[in-house]
Amino acid sequence: MNQITINGVAHTVGDEERALSLLEYLRERRFLTGTKNGCEKGLCGSCTVVVDGKALRSCRIPVEKALGASVVTIEGMEGPGGEPHPIQQAFMDAGAIQCGFCTPGMVMSAYALLLRDPDPSRDDIRKALKGNLCRCTGYQQIVDAVRLAAKVMREQALPVEAGCLPRR
Ligand code: FES
Ligand code: FES
């Protein structure tokens, strides 16, 4: 197995790429630079992507370990017309973005949470996002944003996966 699926598109991983971290592979080989490199030590969560439904820090996973997996990055969240995913929209509506550096990782952690729980409590959200650091917002608005996204998707019967369409 030498393939990895990213945002619905299968890619062949070359032998010389197998030792790269998933973060390096996404940013430097696939040019998906929405996934941020904040520390490369597993400490900040800015590199979070969703691998087979779970939020993981891409700086800590060799791409070799993700072969055969399906990875969703922040670029895979938008809809077919480029519209933001309801989670992204809720971050904007709730004022949960300041400098924005942590936001892709926050959105991906929130996405993994909402895939398994469409109505998480504020505590559930804090737990799911505890590995994602933000230097700007104070976290309150981020929790508000995830609650808002969950509410919008429940009320409008939107599938959480709605934005994850094949793209290059
Ligand atoms: S860049 Fe991966 S946890 Fe900070
Ligand atoms: S918005 Fe700046 S680090 Fe979170």
CATH code, domain carrying 97: 1.10.150.120
Residue 164 has pLDDT above 90, yes or no: no
Give, in order, the Cα–Cα distances in Å from 31 to each of 1, 24, 98, 149, 168: 22, 9, 24, 28, 10
Ligand 2: does its nearest atom lie under 6 Å from the Cβ of 134?
yes
Ligand 2: does its nearest atom lie under 6 Å from the Cβ of 137?
yes
Ligand 2: does its nearest atom lie under 6 Å from the Cβ of 142?
no
Last residue of a domain, one of 49, 76, 103: 76
Give the domain extent around 114. Answer: 86-160
Domain count, the chain: 2
Pairwise CA distance, residues 104 & 72, whole Å? 11
CA 1 to centroid of chain Cα atoms: 24
41-94: pLDDT as tens digits:
999 999 999 999 999 999 999 999 999 999 999 999 998 888 899 999 999 999
Q: Residue 81: what pLDDT?
A: 84
Q: Residue 1: what pLDDT?
A: 83
Give, in order, the Cα–Cα distances in Å from 47 to each of 74, 119, 132: 10, 25, 9
Examine residue 153 and state whether it is found in any structural domain, yes or no. yes
Q: Please tell me the number of the ligand nearest to residue 145's CA.
A: 2
Query: CB–CB of 35/25 below 8 Å?
Result: no
| Token reading at 21 | 């971290």
Examine residue 15 and state whether it is found in any structural domain, yes or no. yes
Q: Residue 168: what pLDDT?
A: 41
The ligand 1 site (C-beta within 6 Å) comprises: 37-40, 42-47, 57, 59
